[in-house]
Structure 1
């Protein structure tokens, strides 16, 4: 019997559900390791983030997405797992594509937890 591991995802920013086109990305780990030599490595913190391609729908609160600095971004994956990014704010360029109405968003935050 098969099990769904990918497909429809749901993204909410402070309770506002986004219409997304896919392309959701969140980190699985809180640290990044790099080998220095065999048996030795260095470890750096990963900044918690959520990347998503959304649709610029009527009523999309662009002002909130571009100016708020303490949002909660919740990502629910098809397999039922949930990633919650807290203390979130938008980073990088926030752009909209006129051909398909796609808004590219990247949020970083204080804490990212899998639930």
Structure 2
């Protein structure tokens, strides 16, 4: 068995953040759903799924938070413990950005 878990590196436009609660990246960008006919035949439809990176990280005091909240051309690089590298280009923040000061 090879290494599948451990240290992960996460960078926004080259500036590294320390991941605390894990990282999530999609394994597929297409989703297949069943389409069942009245005659019992089964086919599928395929829809696109937006690429994303989901992370919980510590944000240092000097990190430019406005880069995360306002930029729409970020490059996000996730170097996973199993050796895979996931790069998200022209990225923007989807939804809310929350900060828990007790946890960093």
Q: What TM-score comes out, normalization by structure 2 length?
A: 0.89
Larger Cα Rg: Structure 1 or Structure 2? Answer: 2
Residue 29 in 1 paired to residue 28 in 2?
A: yes
Equivalent residues in 2 for 1:54-73 (5 A)?
A: 54-73=57-76
The question of whether the paired residues in 2 share the 8 Å contact of 1:71 and 1:89 is answered with: yes
Q: What TM-score comes out, normalization by structure 1 length?
A: 0.81
**Residue matched to 2:47:** 44
Equivalent residue pairs, number: 100
Q: Which of the residues 67, 75, 83 maps onto 1:80?
A: 83
| Secondary structure at the counterpart of residue 97 of structure 1 | coil
Structure 2 regions of 5+ residues with no counterpart?
none
Residue 3 in 1 paired to residue 11 in 2?
A: no
Q: Equivalents in 1 of 2:22, 2:8: separation in Å?
A: 9
Aligned-pair Cα RMSD in Å? 1.2
The question of whether the paired residues in 2 share the 8 Å contact of 1:32 and 1:44 is answered with: yes
1:84 shift after superposition: 0.6
| Secondary structure at the counterpart of residue 90 of structure 1 | coil
Over 4 Å off, 4+ runs: none
1:52 shift after superposition: 0.3
1:61 shift after superposition: 1.2
1:22 shift after superposition: 3.1
